[in-house]
Structure 1
Amino acid sequence: MKRFVVFLLCTLPLFADAQSRIRTRNYPSLLWEISGNGMKKPSYLFGTMHVSSKLAFHLADSFYIGIRNADVVALETNPESWQEDMSKYDLDNGYNAYRGRYASMRVPSDYLHMRTLRFGRYDDKIQRALHSNPSTINNLLYRSYGNASSDFEEDTYLDMYIYQCGKKWGKKVAGVERYGESMRLMTEAYKDAAKDKTKRERSYDQDESFSSSKLQEAYRSGNLDWLDSINKFNSFSRAFDEKFLYKRNEIQAGSIDSILRSGQSLFVGVGAAHLPGGRGVIEMLREKGYKLRPVKMGARDSQHKNQVEKIRVPVQFFTQISDDGLFKVEIPGKFYQLGEDPAIDQRQYADMANGSYYMVSRIITNAWMWGQSTDRVQRVVDSLLYENIPGKIISKTAVTRNGYPGIDVVNKTRRGDIQRYNIFVTPFEILIFKMSGTGDYVTQGAEAQRFFSSIQLKEQHLATGSSGWKKYSPSYGGFMVDLPHEPFIANNGSWIFDAEDKSTNTQYRILRTDIHNYQFVEEDTFDLGLMEESFAASEFIDKQLSRQHTNVNGYPALDTRYKDKQGNTYVVRFLIQGPHYYTLVAHGRQEVPVMKNFINSFAIKPLVYPQPVQRTDTSLYFQVKTPVFPDNKKEKIDLPTNGLYDYAADDDADDPASGLFRSNTISNDTTGEKIFVSFFRSPRYAFIEDSTVLEKEHLFGDTSWVVRKKIRNTLPNSMKTWEVILSDTGSSRMLWEKTFYKDGIGFSLMTQSDTLTAPSSFLKSFFETFTPADTLKGNDMFVKKTNLFFEDFMSKDSIAHR
């Protein structure tokens, strides 16, 4: 689940469950009126439950009146920024955190697999795309658990309902916390809990009086005293509570105070667990001079609920264009790539106020490899609709857009929600445009018509004669080849360049697969054989007609020919250039000269990069001139999995006794080049007797490397460097490594290249200008540390002694 489920855990204040009733009820309601401090009209504080269960929706008229009378409606965080916030952070879900100090020591180790070049059927991908219900969308809009639970759920969860009420009644919306701040506090809470020597196991099952069902009963009755007691009884770590609950309470109370002091009245909903107790939001607001009194929640008010559900929030549409320019469409926001299926490119946008969403799915069909035309693909799509469109299909209509055939489908789910699809088939892929909303939102307004009528597809002008063929090279270089038209470009883990010549009914593909493995280099004939075996495992291949090893301008290659099960011919060349494994495919009913011309026209060309610029990496302590550098588009946050966190990883930088290891891979996904950069500081008391260990050219204990180049040098600051280029018998690939060392501080650069191609400007500039920071201090690991150890042990400095 993905990033937003982590967000829910972060904001979920009801992380514990239940206790017995308390006679003294200091906090007898979920709804509290705020007054005082010169306020002209009252504001309201409400304790929410972050679920769609009906038990949370016993909402009286006082709840609705509080929202209607407010100037601002706020939740813990502002739903209007959730999608953008989610796209800014890389939530690691604890993988790195759990692995601790060695988490970043991942040397690239790609392998060729049987599936690398094996092309499967596209039917299954269409099915998955049609019934796709991304958990991200569900968590943003609905939080429905489906199946038996659906009959006991509302259309959305309580927090989102509060937000939607505010939007539908024209209120300003806000958050009393910031998303990133909440993420960091959660991470810190788990770190602190990991160090907490007094933490205990959660105890829900030890006493029925403190069970989750009792917590629900406490919430249903509005008894915050009881709820607070349940949470405290089940708390597993005071250190965790300090950050996850109390620090957030302070932030929430401070934000509420700021809004109220601006002169605006407020209705704010936060998790019910944040409200009660001496360090709860209620008491914190009282300490700031506000008066808070409980508001009695009477019978459920269905009249207000029915009224607000009929209101549509007006939206403004914006044109969205795909990265490759293949389509453009208008939606009331912008697309976010939060898809969960690596085989399907999905972009989606959730209209939070109206509870609807817009989605585009793209599926590479490889239909021509199966000998299938667009008409055949369209029939396949049509045959899959009944079983894979949710609920009941209401209408199905043939449509055409920019010359591409398609189907317009309207359906109604078992929940009663109307959805609509436009599905278009191109020679190389299927595009599925989808809109879904609560109830009849899709059919009753103009939004759906605006969305679907705005779809525009780029027309692909396929060659109809030999005169259309021309040289093609990507903007970044790498190769040049003759093609009948500008190729269709995609990436399914490998870069794909497809084209079709209608005059000869032939199809063409260039596939570049990047395999970076810095632990060994295999013989060229072996890897070429693996490529051949993988491609031949495709279901449409019937038999191999021929195979021959060859060299193409010095690059190792394997030429093969196949018959498929429909009697069509494949002419295929596998070629290796360092970490770049190329597969060239020509396909036709029968072999014609133009197919071989395509294969022979392929040539390796230099990669093209912009001018290098000076960059600084503060985490790995170096400077370098490079055209490629991580943009840090997303802030990385390591969230623990199942509460596990190795806090030692965070102490390493401050604990010289344990040493420090960090690494990063500087890469360009478009060109496929990578440089692995690592930094280490040896443990303070480490001693290695063999001072030549860093000079030895073998890697990972393997002494069979062929050393093509070895250079030793000493920099002006006395830092030593060793630069080696290694290869192996029968291989054209090389490993290029450069090592830096001085007084316990070391750096290493590693990349993969080949014996024929000159280093690109990226690799050349990076290796030549890499400069370690000169402020780092360490202890030489080749010097005995006995005296140092006893000096520290006897030191009055408590840190050194520890």
Structure 2
Amino acid sequence: MYRFLLSFLLLPLFSFAQINKEYQGLLWKISGNGLEEASYLYGTMHVSNRVAFHLSETFFEALDNADYVALETNPETWVADLTSSELYRDLFKMSYQYNQYMMPLYNSFNPKEPQQQDWEYYLARDQDLLNNLLYRLDQQDQDFAESTYLDLFIFQAGRKAGKTIYALEDYEESYKSVLKASRQDEDAVYITDRQARDLLGDFTDWQTLMEDAYRRGDLDLIDTLNSVLYPGKYYRKNMLDDRNKVMVAGMDSLMQAGVLFTGVGASHLPGKMGLINLLREKGYTVEAENRAVTTTSISRKDEIDAIILSAEPQDFISDDFFIQAQVPGKMIKFLSQPYQEYVFADMVNGGFYSIRRIPTYGPVYGKDRAFYQGRIDSMLFENIPGKILSKDTIQVSGFPAFDIKNETRTGDHQHYQIVFTDLEVIIFKVGGHKDFAQSALPKAFFKSLELNSFDDTEKYRPQFEGFELRMPGSLRTEQYEAAFANPYYTFWVQSFDEGEYYAAALRQYYDFDYFEEDDFELKYLIEKIADDKKLEVDTIYLDAGESTTFSRFVLKNKKEEKIFGQVHIQGPKYVMMMTTAQDQAEQESFFNSFAFTPWQYEDEFQEYQDSVLHLRLESPVKPNDYESFLAGLSQSRGYQSDEDHSYRGEVKEKVLTYSPSGEQIKVRLETEHIYASYLKLEDYWLEKINDFSDEQGLQLISDSTLYTRQDSNYLSEAKVLVFSDTNTHRQIKTKWILENGALYSLWTLSDSLGYNSAFAERALASFQPAGDTIFGKPITLPKADLFFEALDSRDSVRLFEASNSVYKVDFVEEDADRIKDYVLNYEQEGFDRTARLKLLNRLSWLDNEKHIPFLEDLYYDKLDSSAYQFKILETLVDFNGKEGNKSFKKLIMDEPPFTATSYIYSQLFEEFRDTIELAPIIYPDILPLTDFEDYRSEIYELLAELLDSGLVKGGDYKSKYKSLLLFAKVELKKQHASDESTNTYSRKKTVNSELVTYTKLLRPFARKKEVQEQYRKTLSVRNEAVLADLVVVMDPYWEVPDSTWNSLAKKPKAFYKVYPYLQKNDKLKVLDEKYRSREYYAQSILEYNRYSSYDTVSFIGSEKVEIKAYPAEVFFFRARNEDDKLWKLMYLVVEDKEKLSAEYAMVREGETYNENIADMDEVIKDALKEIKLYGRERVVD
């Protein structure tokens, strides 16, 4: 069927010679339907490749005669549309939401000085968005490209001719369609390699074939290529068809008002749902126009490109008020720490203006602005694009600067002014097509540049506040949020005053699951700065303030100059301050001026309702639905299937971010399974609270109930819960609201020392279910009636949910008769045997053994069904009582079931392990079943466990002594056979559980000569892993020779198994002295916990360290294989105890090193540095 469909799909391609092509041409004349003058439609390519610019005289005539120009979207509003788009912001947010580790907390305060490659980028490269907006150039093909792409050229031509530009689509809706088009359709049938080769012919790839089709105006081929290359059901519908309907409606309206020239992607024109056919269906006549390219048409493009349209300059002031300029449009800010950038794309003229600000942190490293001026000067020749036409040294507002003019190899002029302050390097740049940078507007821009000074008499507060302190000096720079805010960035403010440097950095970290110890973070944030070796920590210690602890530190740069600082933490806020001031009084004046302050809000708090999470709250930020929309696009096939699994319960959550301050709160909706119920409301809360506390390792420190509302079919209770952890004053303050079968929760961060957030507090006070949807029935309402109602309804959906939810229903004794009735008599497609057997098993949950006779009768009635028999036996054991086990024994011995599925047997006997003390009831009567291999291993393994537990004795199964001895002999022979093929211990999981079981069960008979002989022969097992398991089983009953223990000790992986036994039984003395050491046992732990082995492993040394989990001891080893020339550092971390234990062992690999070169003290020092961070979840390599 698929082959037929694909052949049908490709038919137009393979039959071009025989079929008349309907869509040939790029320029189409639209007439009729009441139009007084013809309008025109042109198919474009969204690239700057010259293939798109075979423009004819008719193209320019159509454009000249138009009253209006229509495009898919209006380029003049692209930047505004993009930066104001909630959809794009959410898409951007998703890129960092789950990428918090890309901006680790502990790197937040590193004053990162730009390096050589950074300066090269800053000088040579422009903001990537500018290329996407203005040029869409491929660096490799730019010599074969035009100055812009065709859609933008049409826009520029129209604007320069004074025509009105219209967008046929709403930007947000168009963007949604494009995203939906990218969804994967797993039912799509793709072209085969053979068909692809036939289709490509002489072309090497699809792009060149598509370009050739466009060059020839062959829209039929373009349409077919779209179908072949994107066969999924989502692509054509969302990328083309739906959008075409919207565009045709817009064209129709505009053409009735005047002459229209429309330029849209060529793929939108052909096909049944293409623009050409849709226009014809509306009554228009649409005909292809001749498009011969002439010298006249070529010159027309150059003439239009040369026109520079003037605009009214606008005042620009940077968000920290340091930079002022006049720009003919609105500048948009981008922040990519450490640098920030403002750009304006002049879409009409094809030019751009940019201001790039790069903090140097020079004073921290003992470098002044003259150093950076000299460094940049040395890099200009290599990194200014093209040819430098002039370079002058100037001043801008008293700061030294370079004025540079250059011409790129494509003939475009650019103009730079690079200004050097004591805090940053600022690169002002204008570029564009040909002489644009030399025109009047760019000249006015550079003439207007002004850098402002600041008044330092008042305490400094960021615009969003959050803290205050004195920032001395009239030179100051700040880094605020950009167009696409990222809450994981660090806010920096720096100032410079008569040679002294001052800085404060604020990082917020919202983690709603984990707290780190305050003292650790106060120190480690500074220790991390020394990682790049440019600064070293001279001193760091904790100090006590009025209500909290903070850290003081001193850093030293390579000039031995000292930098003094402090770190403070409050709630999610981390603030670091530093200064180069050497005068202690000045330092303390600076540090003592610091205080945390409440956040300030530029937006009004309003009550918002979230339609996805069905909640409402007061907030300065509006929740929206795009996160759910975007999440749906990326879901896998299983979640896109038609089956609705919401009855099982779902979890949906969002993090709401107030961008100006970077604050975050989390809102969450968790729906319960529709059949979930709890006997008491207290049981529900206990489970939920304990689940969170245990999973996250947090402590509940406050639990207050706000209200309880209840009637016969409604239950709601609200709580405020506060969680924290040891060694921190920070808290997670939450509001949980249970409403029937849904738990709504709001999560905020706080502390016990006065952190204040109106965003968090007002959200907590106002947070409520929206009231538009009530999920399920009250959680304390028994759901058995609902379950049986679903079965009785015969509704396929309800039946599906019930059949898959049997184990979710808490049945009570009163439901027993209905359970039996439905097991015996209920018949309905969709309620299969699996569901019926699960329902039968629920009788065991009633904890009433009076149902055993029913199960016994049913067992005998179902002798032809092993599935029923096994489930009944399992149910009897699940009663966890003597009568159930007795009935189990009677039934299985009378009519034992058999199956080809081996795990069914192990699953059946696994049930006994929940109440193993009752398992002896089935012995020894069940032993005859061991004659059948199906049952043998399970019955004997359970018996061996009972023997270990002292619940049975050898006399209880002596009737099977000869069989056990025989089975032991057989398994031993099998092991010998295995040894002959594999005589080295290579895998840590190499075991022989059957031989171990039989060896163990023979222990009560160890005095018998044949058992002693069997044990003696067992010592000949050559697989050390298996032998290690066997000797610890035999030894208490049969003396294992010292030579055997020492032989096993030679193999660390085997020694790992026997050492704990020898240590526990005070038998380490049987080992040679070299095997008794802690170091050797440590090596055995290390090697046992590695899948692969090294040829050589040798001990280096050990160290005692403190890690978060416990005081630890670290054993260092070196390892390599025979052919290796380098060593690998290996280490084992265990809890520091008198008796070495493998219980919490961690095995890690360190660095690879050359023993002839490496300083081992440094190698181990670096390893210890990492080891000390174990368990610190926020530490990211």
Mark yes or no: TM-score above 0.5: yes
Contact 1:710–1:725 (8 Å) recurs in 2: yes
Tell me the number of residue pairs that the alignment of Structure 1 and Structure 2 aligns: 762
2:158 maps to which residue? Answer: 166
Structure 1: distance between partners of 2:289 and 2:239? 27
Contact 2:606–2:620 (8 Å) recurs in 1: no
- Larger deviation: 786-795 or 453-462? 786-795
1:120 maps to which residue? Answer: 112
Contact 2:182–2:235 (8 Å) recurs in 1: yes
- Larger deviation: 530-539 or 204-213? 204-213
AA partner of residue 598 (structure 1):
F
2:984 maps to which residue? Answer: none
Whether 2:304 is the aligned partner of 1:308: answer yes
Alignment of 1:27-38 (within 5 A): 27-38=23-34
Whether 2:575 is the aligned partner of 1:582: answer yes
Structure 1: distance between partners of 2:13 and 2:349? 34
Contact 1:275–1:282 (8 Å) recurs in 2: yes
Unaligned runs of 5+ in 1: 1-16, 463-467
1:405 maps to which residue? Answer: 400
Which of 61, 64, 78 in structure 2 is aligned with 1:82?
78
Structure 2: distance between partners of 1:673 and 1:21? 61
Structure 1: distance between partners of 2:398 and 2:159? 40
> Is the partner of 2:576 in helix, strand or coil?
strand
1:219 maps to which residue? Answer: 214
1:132 maps to which residue? Answer: 125
Unaligned runs of 5+ in 2: 1-11, 201-205, 482-488, 801-1181
Structure 1 residues 540 and 629: CA distance shift in structure 2, 3 A = same
Structure 2: distance between partners of 1:483 and 1:745? 50
Contact 1:90–1:636 (8 Å) recurs in 2: no
Structure 1 residues 713 and 290: CA distance shift in structure 2, 3 A = closer
Contact 2:527–2:537 (8 Å) recurs in 1: no
Structure 2: distance between partners of 1:442 and 1:311? 13
1:490 maps to which residue? Answer: 479
Which of 551, 570, 575 in structure 1 is aligned with 2:563?
570
1:456 maps to which residue? Answer: 450
Structure 2: distance between partners of 1:384 and 1:727? 53
1:465 maps to which residue? Answer: none
2:421 maps to which residue? Answer: 426
Structure 1: distance between partners of 2:147 and 2:91? 34
1:736 maps to which residue? Answer: 733
Which of 69, 73, 76 in structure 2 is aligned with 1:73?
69
Structure 1: distance between partners of 2:381 and 2:628? 42
Structure 1 residues 715 and 323: CA distance shift in structure 2, 3 A = farther
Deviations 1:449-487 (A, max 9, x none): 11211222212467xxxxx6x644456554443443475
Higher helix share: 2
AA partner of residue 158 (structure 2):
G
- Larger deviation: 733-742 or 776-785? 776-785
AA partner of residue 763 (structure 1):
A
Which of 532, 552, 555 in structure 1 is aligned with 2:548?
555
2:196 maps to which residue? Answer: 207
Contact 1:26–1:225 (8 Å) recurs in 2: yes
TM-score normalised over the length of structure 1: 0.86
Contact 1:75–1:159 (8 Å) recurs in 2: yes
2:1077 maps to which residue? Answer: none
Contact 2:537–2:553 (8 Å) recurs in 1: no
Report how far residue 801 of structure 1 moved.
Answer: 5.5
Structure 1 residues 473 and 150: CA distance shift in structure 2, 3 A = closer
> Is the partner of 2:727 in helix, strand or coil?
coil
Deviations 1:722-747 (A, max 9, x none): 32323333222222222211211111
Whether 2:697 is the aligned partner of 1:701: answer no
AA partner of residue 260 (structure 1):
M
AA partner of residue 324 (structure 1):
D
Contact 2:617–2:768 (8 Å) recurs in 1: yes
Which of 627, 630, 638 in structure 1 is aligned with 2:621?
630
Alignment of 1:500-649 (within 5 A): 500-502=496-498, 505-537=499-531, 539-542=533-536, 544=538, 546-588=539-581, 590-607=582-599, 613-619=605-611, 620-625=613-618, 628-631=619-622, 644-646=634-636
Alignment of 1:134-283 (within 5 A): 134-147=127-140, 149-190=141-182, 194=185, 198-201=187-190, 206-211=195-200, 212=206, 213-262=208-257, 264-283=258-277
Higher strand share: 1
Structure 1 residues 214 and 637: CA distance shift in structure 2, 3 A = farther
1:714 maps to which residue? Answer: 707
- Taking only aligned residues, the RMSD between alpha carbons, in angstroms, comes to 3.5
Contact 2:466–2:598 (8 Å) recurs in 1: yes
Whether 2:411 is the aligned partner of 1:390: answer no
Report how far residue 209 of structure 1 moved.
Answer: 4.7
Structure 1: distance between partners of 2:128 and 2:625? 21
Structure 2: distance between partners of 1:564 and 1:772? 56
- Larger deviation: 597-606 or 68-77? 597-606
Structure 2: distance between partners of 1:204 and 1:411? 49
Contact 1:203–1:234 (8 Å) recurs in 2: no
Report how far residue 68 of structure 1 moved.
Answer: 1.5
- Larger deviation: 486-495 or 31-40? 486-495
AA partner of residue 357 (structure 1):
F
Contact 2:90–2:627 (8 Å) recurs in 1: no
Contact 1:629–1:667 (8 Å) recurs in 2: no
AA partner of residue 230 (structure 1):
L
Report how far residue 517 of structure 1 moved.
Answer: 2.1
Contact 1:612–1:762 (8 Å) recurs in 2: no
**Identical positions, percent:** 29
Structure 1 residues 601 and 359: CA distance shift in structure 2, 3 A = closer
Whether 2:435 is the aligned partner of 1:447: answer no
Structure 1 residues 473 and 93: CA distance shift in structure 2, 3 A = closer
Which fold has the larger relative contact order, with Cα–Cα distance below 8 Å and residues 6 or more apart in sequence? 1
Whether 2:756 is the aligned partner of 1:764: answer no
AA partner of residue 712 (structure 1):
T
Contact 1:30–1:272 (8 Å) recurs in 2: yes
Deviations 1:326-358 (A, max 9, x none): 11222222112356x443212212111211111
Deviations 1:79-117 (A, max 9, x none): 222221111225569979999xxx99x799999655222
Contact 1:508–1:586 (8 Å) recurs in 2: yes
Deviations 1:482-538 (A, max 9, x none): 443475432592222323331xx3222222222222222222221122123123336
Structure 1 residues 181 and 483: CA distance shift in structure 2, 3 A = closer
Report how far residue 19 of structure 1 moved.
Answer: 6.3
> Which has more radius of gyration?
2
1:661 maps to which residue? Answer: 651
Structure 1: distance between partners of 2:587 and 2:417? 36
Structure 2: distance between partners of 1:636 and 1:241? 24
Contact 1:108–1:516 (8 Å) recurs in 2: no
Structure 2: distance between partners of 1:743 and 1:516? 30
Alignment of 1:350-365 (within 5 A): 350-365=345-360
AA partner of residue 735 (structure 1):
I
Contact 1:697–1:724 (8 Å) recurs in 2: no
> Is the partner of 2:62 in helix, strand or coil?
helix
1:8 maps to which residue? Answer: none
Structure 1 residues 409 and 19: CA distance shift in structure 2, 3 A = farther
- Larger deviation: 76-85 or 717-726? 717-726
Report how far residue 782 of structure 1 moved.
Answer: 5.8
Deviations 1:659-690 (A, max 9, x none): 34322334445555432221222243456785
Report how far residue 758 of structure 1 moved.
Answer: 5.5
Structure 1: distance between partners of 2:629 and 2:331? 25
Structure 1 residues 172 and 774: CA distance shift in structure 2, 3 A = closer
2:48 maps to which residue? Answer: 52
Contact 1:119–1:538 (8 Å) recurs in 2: no
